[in-house]
Structure 1
Amino acid sequence: MSLQNASINVTHFIIGGFDTLNRPIAVGVFILIIYLLAVLANMANIMFIVSDKSLHKPMYLLICNLAVVDIMYTSSCNPTMIGVLLAGVNTISYVECLIQMCVFHLGTVMESFVLAFMALDRFIAIIYPFHYLTNTHVPVLTFILWFVAWCSTCYMPAIVIPLPHCSSRLRYTFCDFPAVLRTTCVNPDKYFNEGAIIAFFIFFFTFVFICLSYCGILLFVKLSSNNEKKKMGSTLVSHLICVIVHYGPAFVQIIFTRLGVVLTLEERQGLLIGAVLGPCLVNPFVYCFRTKEIKQKLFKIFKNLSSLSLLTETKCS
């Protein structure tokens, strides 16, 4: 039987990744809470930076861009998973699925690019303090990164759309490239290999770039005073936490694969969900509580709210 005869006209996909889950409501509530916390925290970071002119500096513009990426990244798939788990809405239209696939992978690529860009900013600020990035450089370079990231994800719909589909059921929990490609009538290995090469170059080069920037900074720190070491160390720790949370799940999967450990479908999906939720929740809190200016702004807001509350209580009594 030819592919054309075996293929079906797909207008909707059925999300089947949670079919074997024992406690879907509990998992759905957990994902919902983490998702809301992540979105609110990132929106708070953006509002703090946009509303305060003293924070209109390259580092804070990069933090704001990271918050935008995190909101887009976590919103690309979490509402779909929450809808499946809590509302039982386990279908998604073909067009919406393709859009979700592109936005999800765009978020994955941009997360790596922004972390590498932030590492470059810290490297220049510490090693070459008189040649730092300006407020003009950051938007231009950010636009270039978004453009490159978008180009790197355009091949996915270009591959998927012409292919005939033999199934409308997704094995995974939302629409990503492997999930959609497995519904087609062709052998997906060729396309998986092509995607793996692109993903390897993006992840490998951004991670190596970050590591090299750290090495340069650490060599410079050895020659600095104790006060400068403490300040630089605090800056690096904030960024390092975000790097570990983003790259960690991918490296765990690579290490398991190299050791011959075969992960089940549920374990792979757990790592994938963690790879989305982890960075988007951790990043805003790291930069809220480890960045002096944002932390001071938060304390000021809470102090004003406490004063207002006490004043209201006094008037009422």
Structure 2
Amino acid sequence: MPTPRSQLISLDDTPWYHCVSRCVRRAWLCGFDEETGTDYGYRREWIVERLELLSRVFSIEIAAFAVMSNHHHVVLRVDAESPERWSIEEVIQRWHRVYNGTFLSQKFATGQALSKDEMSVLKRDAAVWKERLICVSWFMRALNEPIARAANQEDNCTGKFFESRFKSQALLDEKAVLAAMVYVDLNPIRAQMAETPEDSEFTSIKARIDQLINNANTAFLAPFNGDEKDAVTSGVPYHLLEYIDLVDWTGRAVREDKRGSIAIKLPPVLQRLGLDSADWLILATEVESLFGNWVGSPSQINEVSYHVGQRWICTSEGSRRFF
């Protein structure tokens, strides 16, 4: 029986999550279909455009993403504090950008007067919507459902496009966040779809590099604040150039034909985290398979198990080795 999502996401423990959605039967529904000779690669752009919209609606930052031919990855940071300052007008305005809302919310949005009882009902609805706007499950639902409908309409068929449940990994500390982000950004290189980060289409790393070179718009991505504070509470705690250097270094290590060109000196980030090259390369390329739903140290995972009401959570070999 699948674990309830409420026991997999705990904002009291971390706002950071790595989420993966796969196409049904892992079919190439966003790539090249060899059976029909049809290229569905343009659907990957649909997902990126949807991410851009949702970043402006939800109080959830997108730190990294990669849209592949049969699945997509996102690394998300939930900002649970900002909505506390939202007015009911802002909540409704945000909700209406993704959903129709209710008769009362539409009436309110168009400036029509509401009775006292109607306003009371609307406030209850808005409170529910505000909670959903910091919910990872609702974010993934709002991301995947329109893509599935559009693809099914285009294919003149019905049924599921994505698997019903997305995979989530809670990232419990700075090391986990960094490993997940690099893992996501290097997906096309590991899949041999690209040779370098700047060639990796439909990824956050390419978007960030394009921003530096061509002044491309990356406002929908979480900023790098260059701070040394704990990533769990203060955003991406690195300088952008420092992160790009790490992704490039790791990407060359992943490619067999480039291993001879890897610099002996470790990137500064790894030196600060106390990781050697061998451990880092395993962590950054296998974080999804090495860990279950929680990425962190055994002590962190044990603490989480208490908070989510589980008697215990089995710690993985990766947790014991790398944290």
TM-score normalized by the length of structure 2: 0.30
Larger Rg, first or second structure (1 or 2): 1
Q: Which has the higher helix share?
A: 1
Choose between structure 1 and 2 for higher RCO, CA contacts under 8 A separated by at least 6 residues. 1
TM-score normalized by the length of structure 1: 0.31
Q: Which has the higher strand share?
A: 2
